[in-house]
């Protein structure tokens, strides 16, 4: 199950970064005098629940072999757990290394 979730979130990040223009990726940010802090809102149950609902039923299983059907049939519990993990990641400013693999 963890790998299925990992694959889902890894794909989101990869797809988003694929749309960033090269001019932003290759910009020289060393001349910036100060960096304003960024506020990141904690994930809500509804946000996570809706994102998980959007996983196509035809999506293949990850390395863990957990089918999307199982994920969706236990959505309330799984969304709550994922929300907690995401919010811990935000609070501690750490991203699990498994989320960075792709």
- Mean pLDDT check: name the lowest of 1-10, 21-30, 53-62: 1-10
Phi-psi region of 42 (alpha: psi -120 to 50; beta: other; left: phi over 0): beta
User: 19-55 burial by CB neighbour count: b if 16+ within 10 A, else e?
Assistant: eeeeeeeeeeeeeeeeeeeeeeeebeeeebbeebeeb
Rounded to an integer, what distance in angstroms lies between the CA atom of residue 31 and that of residue 12? 30
**Cβ atoms of 45 and 83 closer than 8 Å:** yes
Burial of 56 (0-12, 13-18, 19+ CB in 10 A): exposed
Q: Where are the domains of the chain?
A: 2-14+41-100
How does pLDDT run across 32-75, given as a tens digit for each residue?
A: 666 777 788 999 999 999 998 998 988 887 766 778 888 889 99
């Amino acid at each position: 199950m963890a790998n299925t979730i990992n694959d889902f979130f890894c794909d989101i990040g990869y797809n988003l970064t694929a749309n960033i223009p090269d001019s932003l990726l290759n910009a020289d940010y060393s001349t910036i005098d100060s960096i304003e802090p960024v506020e990141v809102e904690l994930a809500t149950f509804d946000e996570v629940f809706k994102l998980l609902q959007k996983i196509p039923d035809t999506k293949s299983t990850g390395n863990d072999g957990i089918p999307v059907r199982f994920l969706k049939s236990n959505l309330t519990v799984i969304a709550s757990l994922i929300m907690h993990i995401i919010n811990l990641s935000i609070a501690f400013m750490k991203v699990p290394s498994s989320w960075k693999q792709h």
